[in-house]
C-alpha cells in the first residue's frame, strides 16, 4: 500500500465513485498508517516486470575478499569473490471487500447522497494490517518469507531489554551497531524497533543522567532513523535502500471488480505487491532475544 494516491479513475459507477471518495478522504486525513510499506524501500529497477507478472526474478549477492598493500607494483593481487544466485519474489493480491446492500443501492440509484467512509476505512485498515503482516512474516503456506524469517541475515544475540538498565540497553544497541558496521560494507542507516522495545528507550539513561536512553542514543548519531513499529516483534539494524532490499508494487491500491452475494454487492479494494526482496541479506542485522 506504499505511496497511496488519490483514486480519480473510478469510472462512472456511482457506488465506485462513493468508495473512491472514501479512499481519498482517508488519504487526505492520513488516517491509515502504512508502516512497513512506507519503511521498506520501493524497488523500481526491475526487468521484465509488468502488470502480467506473477513473480520477480532478481540477483541475491554476497562477496568476500580484501585488498593488499605492497611496496612495489604487484604482479598478482587477491581477487574479490562474488557469489550471485538468482532468486524470486512472488506477487500476491491483498484484498478486502466493501458490502453495499440492496437498500443502499436503491438509495443511491434514486439520486440521494450517502457516504461509505466507515466501510471503506475498515477495508483499508484490514488491508494495511495484512500488508504489514505479509511484509514482516510472509505467508508460509504460500511460500513467501518476510523480513522476520528471511535467511542469510546477520544475527546479534541480545538480552531482554525489559530486564536491562538504560545504560545496558544503550550498550546492547552499541554492540549490535558495531557488529553491523564491523567490516564497513554496510551502513547502519536505520534501526526498526517493536513499539514495546521502543518504549523501553524512555527509561532514564542512568541515576546520574536524567536524559532518556532514546535522547542519549539520538545524540550518538549511529542511525539516521529510529522507527517504532507496533507488532514488529523485535529489533533490526538495516541499510535501507533498494540496492540492499525492498519490495515492489505492481498494482497500487485500487477498486477492483464487484460481485453479488445474495442481494448484497461486494466491491473489492485490492493491491498487487511482492513479498520482501532481499538482494544483500547481510545488510540486515537482527537482535535475537530482545523481546
CA torsion sign, 44 to 49 to 55 to 57?
Answer: negative
Which residue from 126, 131, 127 is spatially nearest to 39, judged by alpha carbons? 131
Residue 157: what pLDDT? 93
In angstroms, the CA 233 to CA 245 distance is: 19
DSSP label of 63: E
Can you list the domains of the chain with their CATH numbers?
14-61+86-147+246-280 (3.30.2400.30), 154-243+283-288 (3.30.2320.10)
Which parts of the chain sit beneath pLDDT 50? 3, 6, 8-9
Residue 284: what pLDDT? 94
pTM value is 0.78
Residue 30: what pLDDT? 65
In angstroms, the CA 44 to CA 250 distance is: 10
* Locus of grid cell 508494487: 249
Residue 3: what pLDDT? 46
Residue 143: what pLDDT? 83
Which residue from 165, 173, 166 is spatially nearest to 213, judged by alpha carbons? 166
Amino acid at each position: 500500500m506504499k505511496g497511496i494516491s488519490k483514486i480519480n479513475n473510478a469510472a462512472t459507477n456511482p457506488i465506485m465513485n462513493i468508495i473512491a471518495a472514501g479512499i481519498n478522504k482517508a488519504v487526505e486525513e492520513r488516517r491509515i498508517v502504512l508502516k512497513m510499506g512506507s519503511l521498506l524501500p520501493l524497488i523500481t529497477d526491475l526487468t521484465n516486470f509488468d502488470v502480467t507478472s506473477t513473480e520477480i526474478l532478481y540477483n541475491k549477492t554476497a562477496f568476500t575478499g580484501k585488498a593488499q598493500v605492497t611496496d612495489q607494483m604487484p604482479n598478482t593481487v587477491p581477487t574479490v569473490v562474488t557469489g550471485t544466485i538468482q532468486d524470486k519474489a512472488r506477487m500476491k493480491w491483498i484484498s478486502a471487500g466493501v458490502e453495499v446492500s440492496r437498500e443502499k443501492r436503491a438509495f443511491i440509484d434514486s439520486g440521494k447522497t450517502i457516504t461509505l467512509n466507515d466501510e471503506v476505512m475498515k477495508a483499508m485498515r484490514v488491508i494495511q494490517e495484512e500488508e504489514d503482516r505479509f511484509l514482516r512474516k510472509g505467508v508460509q503456506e504460500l511460500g513467501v518469507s518476510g523480513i522476520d524469517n528471511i535467511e542469510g541475515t546477520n544475527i546479534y544475540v541480545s538480552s531482554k531489554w525489559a530486564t536491562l538498565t538504560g545504560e545496558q540497553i544503550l550498550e546492547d544497541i552499541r554492540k549490535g551497531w558495531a557488529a553491523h558496521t564491523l567490516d564497513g560494507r554496510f551502513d547502519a542507516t536505520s534501526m526498526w524497533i517493536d513499539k514495546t522495545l521502543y518504549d523501553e528507550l524512555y527509561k532514564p539513561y542512568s541515576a546520574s543522567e536524567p536524559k532518556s536512553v532514546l535522547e542519549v542514543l539520538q545524540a550518538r548519531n549511529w542511525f539516521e532513523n529510529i522507527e517504532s513499529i507496533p507488532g514488529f516483534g523485535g529489533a533490526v539494524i538495516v541499510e535501507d535502500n533498494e540496492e540492499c532490499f525492498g519490495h515492489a508494487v505492481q498494482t497500487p491500491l485500487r477498486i477492483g471488480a464487484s460481485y453479488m452475494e445474495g442481494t448484497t454487492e461486494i466491491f473489492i479494494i485490492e493491491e498487487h505487491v511482492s513479498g520482501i526482496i532481499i538482494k544483500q541479506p547481510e545488510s540486515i542485522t537482527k537482535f535475537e532475544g530482545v523481546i
